[in-house]
Amino acid sequence: MDRAAELGVMAGIIVPLALFAMIFGIVYLAKRERLAMIERGMDPRRYKPQSAPFQTLKWGLLLIGAGTGLFLAYVLDHTLFSKISDMEDGGNVAIYFALIAIFGGSGLFLSYRIEKKEADKNGEKVD
């Protein structure tokens, strides 16, 4: 058997085992947390996970910014910089990382500005 076939067989065994271990670990830790709460006299039904709209906004804007940066880097690499770089060389790798960082950071900055405006409106302080 060649090396690629061996890796395929190993992946076919390891991936389901890892998935099972992950699910088992999550369920086990959730049950331990509930038992610890009961031991301390707390009611686990009372502490439900709360919504975090600003956390969702932050991740959404970060991913939108990173995707926009990646798309813009691809377009620039294949149009404007296509004659400068050697395509067998891997293209302009630095522009991909730079634009992902720039647009991802601008998404985080936009999220901060939105949170700050909302906190100022409600009279709260933003860290």
Same domain, 82 and 114: yes
Least confident of 11-15, 48-52, 88-92, 119-123: 88-92
Q: How confident is the model at residue 25 (pLDDT cuts 50, 70, 90)?
A: very high
Same domain, 33 and 67: no
Higher model confidence: residue 127 or residue 74? 74
> What are the pLDDT digits (tens) for 30-80?
999 999 999 999 888 887 777 677 888 999 999 999 999 999 999 988 888
Domain of 60, in residue numbers = 50-122
What pLDDT does residue 113 have? Answer: 92
Same domain, 79 and 113: yes
* Mean pLDDT along residues 22-31: 95
Sign of CA dihedral 9, 11, 14, 17: negative
Q: DSSP letter for 123, please.
A: T
Same domain, 117 and 62: yes
Q: Which among 101, 115, 91 has a CA at the least distance from the CA of 69? A: 101
Same domain, 114 and 59: yes
Same domain, 34 and 55: no
> What are the pLDDT digits (tens) for 75-118?
988 888 877 655 555 667 888 999 999 999 999 999 999 989 98
What pLDDT does residue 86 have? Answer: 55
Same domain, 109 and 65: yes
Name the domain count of the chain: 2
> What is the per-residue DSSP string for 27-94?
HHHHHHHHHHHHHTT--GGG-PPPP-HHHHHHHHHHHHHHHHHHHHHHHHHHTTSTTTS-GGGT--HH
Q: How far apart are CA 57 and CA 104, in angstroms?
A: 13
